[in-house]
Amino acid sequence: MNISFCKADYKDLKKLLSLCREAVNAPYSTWNEDYPNEEILKQDIAAGTLYIIQMDYRDAGLIAAGENGELNCLPWDGAACRPCEIARFGLVSQMRGKGLSRLVLKEAIELCKQQGFDTIRLIASCGQPVVKRLYEGEGFQSFGTARLFEHDFVCYQKRIV
C-alpha cells in the first residue's frame, strides 16, 4: 500500500469537508457536523499543517501535523524543544478496521521527523479504546487527561529523535 500526504490547499476545502463528514461516522468519534468545520480547516491550511492522506493515490482521509499551538495549555513533559501536534486524523470508512491507521501514523511520524520536530503531541478521546491502543502501541506515553471541547481526552506524547 502506497501512503502519501498531499499538503491541503484552499481549493481542496469541499473535498476536505466531505472527508470530515465521512469520518463523523467512525465508532466512538467525537467529530460531528460542526467539527471539524470550514473555519478550522482554513486555519490549518493557512498554517501549512493540513494534509490529505492518499492510499494508492486515492483520497483516504486527512491529518493535521505541525505547530498549531492548540495543545500548549496541557501538562506535557517539558523536555521537548520543537514539538509537533497531530490533530484531525481521520480515515474514510472503507479504510478503517484494516490496520491502516497504524501505517498512516508511522508515515506521519516520519513526516514530523523530516520537518525537524523532536516530539509529537496529540490527544485522544477517553471513549476511543481502539485509538488509545493505536497510540500506546506506537510508543506514545500518556501525560494525563484533560477536558477540552466538551470532551475528556488522554494527552499523549512521543519523542521522535
Domain span at residue 76 reads 3-159
What's the CATH code of the domain at 144? 3.40.630.30
* DSSP assignment of the chain: --EEEEE--GGGHHHHHHHHHHHTTSTT---BTTBS-HHHHHHHHHHT-EEEEEETTEEEEEEEEE---TTTTS---TT-SSEEEEEEEEE-GGGTTSSHHHHHHHHHHHHHHHTT-SEEEEEEETT-HHHHHHHHHTT-EEEEEEEETTEEEEEEEEE--
- pLDDT string in tens for the chain (161-residue length): 899 999 999 999 999 999 999 888 777 788 888 899 999 999 999 999 999 999 998 999 999 999 988 888 887 877 789 999 999 999 988 888 888 999 999 999 999 999 999 999 999 999 888 899 999 999 999 999 999 878 899 999 999 98
Total domains present in the chain: 1
Q: pTM for the full model? A: 0.93
